[in-house]
A and B are shown apart, each in its own frame.
Chain A
Amino acid sequence: MTPRLILLTLAAFLLSLMAGKTWIFPPDWFADTARGWIFLDLRLPRALLGAGIGAILGLSGAVLQGYLRNPLADPTVVGVSSSAALGGVIAILLGFTPFPLAMAGGGLSVLLLVLMAGRGGGPLGFILAGMVLATLSGSLTAFLISIAPNPFATSEIIAWMMGALTDRGMADAVIALPLMAAGGAVLLLTARSLDALTLGEDAARSMGVDPARLQWIIALGIGLGVGAAVAVSGVVGFVGLMVPHIIRRFVGERPSATLIPSALGGAILVLVADSLVRLVPGPGEVRLGVAMAVLGAPFFFLLLGKIRGQGA
């Protein structure tokens, strides 16, 4: 499965390099022409970021679903995405670039998450603390939008929050990609603990899993990876939720087996979706976050149908 996913990821990456209002094919890629500049300054960083963001979101979703033993978990559920978004909104209001404060918001949120979840370190405490954070940062964000000094600031905030890779350059990629890679590497350390948790917390602990340590590793990985993803692109939802579901149908349900395929699947999904939003006719561009939500709703409708079918 994984080799095929790698090939598909490469294909999606190439598609993302070429697709747009102007198609740019390999002969023009490094030419000293307008097309060559578009390729190097816009398409290449955008494709790199799309792959990185999709991978970290897919991987985070798979890790959180394994950790919480719940197929409906993803980074937005535990409040990391909305806290990073709150940081970004504060930065925009103050007239800074969103990245550092969004990253700080994500980092602060995982720290609070672990402290609130408590020393016992159970998944239930983790998810409840995450919901507190998500609600709190969501309402603070709404409050900040309501007191924004002018309509321009409001529209900038809303556009950023909806999630997009528009106009991201190589400078963004150079900062965000290493952070996402580091977060991803940390998250991969959880593989065996997630397998052990399949049998519940007591069984996992009896097999040598230290729950407090596992919680810190997950918080660190999500904070770095998802924090950087949100900081560079705003909130792109549903990737972490959808991708592990699809992946499980092909690789089975053992959590460790879903991690790398979910990262690849996430990269494919975001690269393809981000290519499609560029191809939609019209003056502007559909926001990536919006496009993902449009894909997400019918996906969950199908899932609902399947679950109801099983229950009958």
Chain B
Amino acid sequence: MIEVTNVSLRLGKARVLDDVSARFAQGRVTAILGPNGAGKTSLLRAMAGLVAVESGGVSLARLSLQERARTIGYLPQNGQPAWAITVRELVELGRLPHRSRFAALSPVDEAAIEAALASTDMAALADRPVDALSGGEKARAKFARVLAGDPDWILADEPLANLDPPHARDVERLLRDAADGGKGVVVVLHQLNAALRLADDVVLIKAGRVLAAGPVRAVLEPDTLEALFGMRFRLVEDESGRALVPLS
């Protein structure tokens, strides 16, 4: 369980989080949804300990930097690798929190790297430089880096951004599998229908405050979404699933 308790946060002069409280459970996918600039990424960064909160607390913040690095796998939104390292080198980075400074990769490290490459279907591309990958392959490689660290929590900031439907579905499956395997998965999302498919719980953020939180079916309904986004949605449902359609 990650507990966020009465967290307020300023970036410069702007107050981006205002008395936010929320709970996130392991073994479930929780989606953080809200308009642009509502504070979704700030909440995720505060949970990962990447930014110091002004007041309030995050339960994992008590851990040391190293313990936190082993407990939380954080997938930033724009993590384009600065250098053309290979996929394997990228995935190896996930083991950094587990290794002492000059130690070579242990058999445990190697096994975790191979497992992460296999579960993201990247083993065949392991020796390819990351700048020679397609967008979907790059997203899987970055996800493999997080998996290789075998964290208890995966915190992902818009992991579906810029992915076409089949590649988005691949990443959704990886997130689902991680949660089914017992990890806590928290994702910032923009796609309501991806949240409907993927999430167990949602936290809706508007202007730095929690508007609503709870199981996805209870919270993602037209009236709440109108309060969140200021526009109407229609929920359509048939045997293949549920979808939210914006009304103009």
Q: Is A198 an interface residue (CB 8 A)?
A: yes
Taking the nearest CB of chain A, how far is it from the CB of B144, in angstroms? 12
Q: Give the total of B residues in contact with A, Cβ under 8 Å.
A: 35
B50 A196 Cβ-Cβ under 8 A: no
B84 A199 Cβ-Cβ under 8 A: no
A207 to B95, CA, bound (A): 9
A203 B76 Cβ-Cβ under 8 A: yes
Chain A: CB-nearest residue to B94: A207
B83 A255 Cβ-Cβ under 8 A: yes
Select the residue from A189, A202, A205 with max chain B CB neighbours within 10 A: A202
A80 to B79, CA, bound (A): 30
A107 to B149, CA, bound (A): 38
Taking the nearest CB of chain A, how far is it from the CB of B81, in angstroms? 5
User: Given A208-B66, A252-B85, does the pair A196, B48 have CB atoms closer than 8 Å?
Assistant: no
A206 to B72, CA, bound (A): 7
Q: Is B13 an interface residue (CB 8 A)?
A: no
B76 A198 Cβ-Cβ under 8 A: no
Q: Is A254 an interface residue (CB 8 A)?
A: yes
A206 B74 Cβ-Cβ under 8 A: yes
Q: Is B89 an interface residue (CB 8 A)?
A: yes
A66 to B85, CA, bound (A): 12
User: Given A196-B93, A199-B145, does the pair A208, B69 have CB atoms closer than 8 Å?
Assistant: yes
Q: Is B235 an interface residue (CB 8 A)?
A: no
* A interface bracket (residues with beta carbon within 8 Å of B): 20 to 34
Q: Is A28 an interface residue (CB 8 A)?
A: no
A248 to B85, CA, bound (A): 10
* Interface mask (B160-200 → A, CB under 8 Å = 1, otherwise 0): 00000000000000000000000000000000000000000
Q: Is A118 an interface residue (CB 8 A)?
A: no
A66 to B49, CA, bound (A): 24
A253 to B101, CA, bound (A): 20
User: Given A206-B50, A252-B85, A253-B83, does the pair A195, B78 have CB atoms closer than 8 Å?
Assistant: no
List the A side residues contacting B90 at CB < 8 Å.
Answer: 198-199
Residues from 183 to 205 in A contacting B, C-beta threshold 8 Å: 189, 192, 195-200, 202-203, 205
List the A side residues contacting B89 at CB < 8 Å.
Answer: 195, 252, 254
List the B side residues contacting A69 at CB < 8 Å.
Answer: 82-83
Q: Pick the contact of A195 from B45, B69, B93, B149 — CB < 8 Å?
A: B93
Q: Is A156 an interface residue (CB 8 A)?
A: no
Taking the nearest CB of chain A, how far is it from the CB of B246, in angstroms? 31
A66 to B73, CA, bound (A): 22
* Interface mask (B75-105 → A, CB under 8 Å = 1, otherwise 0): 1101111111110011001101101010000
A203 to B79, CA, bound (A): 7
B93 A199 Cβ-Cβ under 8 A: yes
List the B side residues contacting A248 at CB < 8 Å.
Answer: 83
Q: Pick the contact of A202 from B65, B66, B76, B99 — CB < 8 Å?
A: B76
A198 B93 Cβ-Cβ under 8 A: yes
Q: Please give 14 more A-B residue pairs, beta carbons under 8 A apart, in addition to A196-B96, A202-B79, A206-B74.
A: A69-B83, A195-B89, A195-B96, A198-B83, A200-B82, A202-B74, A205-B50, A206-B48, A206-B69, A207-B69, A207-B93, A253-B83, A253-B129, A254-B83
In the complex, 15 of the A-B residue pairs with CB atoms within 8 angstroms, ordered by the A residue number, are A192-B99, A198-B81, A198-B82, A198-B93, A199-B79, A199-B93, A202-B50, A203-B75, A203-B79, A206-B49, A206-B69, A207-B94, A207-B96, A210-B65, A252-B85
- Chain B positions within 8 Å of A, measured between CB atoms, are 45, 48-50, 65-66, 68-70, 72-76, 78-86, 89-90, 93-94, 96-97, 99, 101, 129, 142, 145, 149
- Chain A positions within 8 Å of B, measured between CB atoms, are 66, 69, 189, 192, 195-200, 202-203, 205-208, 210, 248, 252-255
